[in-house]
Amino acid sequence: MPKKIIFFLIAIAIIIVGGIIYLGNFYFGENIYSGDTGGWKTYADSELGYQIKYPQEWCFKDDFEWCTEGTECLRTLRIKSNQEEIGLEDLRKIKEGVFQILVFKEDPQFSVYSDKIKAAGLTEKREAEALSFVKEKIIGGVKTEAWEIHDIQNAVGFEFIHNGKLYQLAYISATAEELEKNKSVFQGILSTFKFIK
């Protein structure tokens, strides 16, 4: 095989591996954000024990009233790039995206996400598929298992279990273009999430 073809194949392999590593870091919230979050606003939830920063020009809303009886919902927060009022039922109308934090009570028998999947009664194939989206990572300074949100169009994020609670951190946008435009801000918000108790 000529040296040019070997060099070309090696270059293609490096690009593919680099892309997989980058996307893996993006979807699982690794701290690849290189911007400055120093001037961002801080939201601290003393009851649930976490804090997060978000851009100065973005708005914040506690949508706790969305938590309906029987859902075991403890908190619903939204950080938006505009002032428009958007409820979960209106996600199709989102124009500029929304970062949301949902916190639910979790069954105390589940300390890691893979246990939750294994207890769901899925077929062997569906269980294997669901488990393929679980990765070990550090979130808010705590090592845990995170499940990648992969089944919502134009949305990225993950769910994880911590201290008997299920956390969902996600960015939902109207279009793939908007998601691409704001994904660095999403990474910045994720990089500031930390547990404070």
Kindly report, residue by residue over 68-125, the tens digit of the pLDDT: 555 677 777 777 665 555 454 454 454 557 788 888 888 888 989 999 999 999 999 9
Domain count, the chain: 1
CA–CA distance, 79 with 171 (Å, rounded to integer)? 9
**pLDDT for 128 beyond 90:** yes
What value does the mean pLDDT take over residues 18-34? 45
What is the pTM (predicted TM-score) of this model? 0.73
Q: Which residue is associated with the tokens 């908007």?
A: 178
The CATH number covering residue 111 comes to: 3.40.1000
pLDDT tens for 141-196 read 889 999 998 767 788 888 999 988 899 898 888 788 888 877 888 888 888 999 98
Q: Give the residue among 16, 3, 178, 1 at the shortest CA–CA distance from 99.
A: 178
CA atoms within 13 A on the CB side of 47: 4
Model pLDDT, residue 139: 87
Instruction: Look up the domain containing 157 and give its range.
Output: 3-195
**pLDDT for 24 beyond 50:** no
Tell me what percent of the residues of the chain surpass a pLDDT of 70.
Answer: 69
Range of weakest confidence among 10-24, 41-55, 147-161? 10-24
Model pLDDT, residue 62: 73
Task: Name the 3-class secondary structure at 183.
Answer: helix
Q: What is the DSSP letter of 140?
A: B
List the alpha helices (DSSP H) in 32-175: 113-118, 124-131
Tokens of residue 154, six digits: 């134009």
Model pLDDT, residue 123: 94
Model pLDDT, residue 75: 75
Output the CA torsion sign for 116, 122, 126, 128. positive
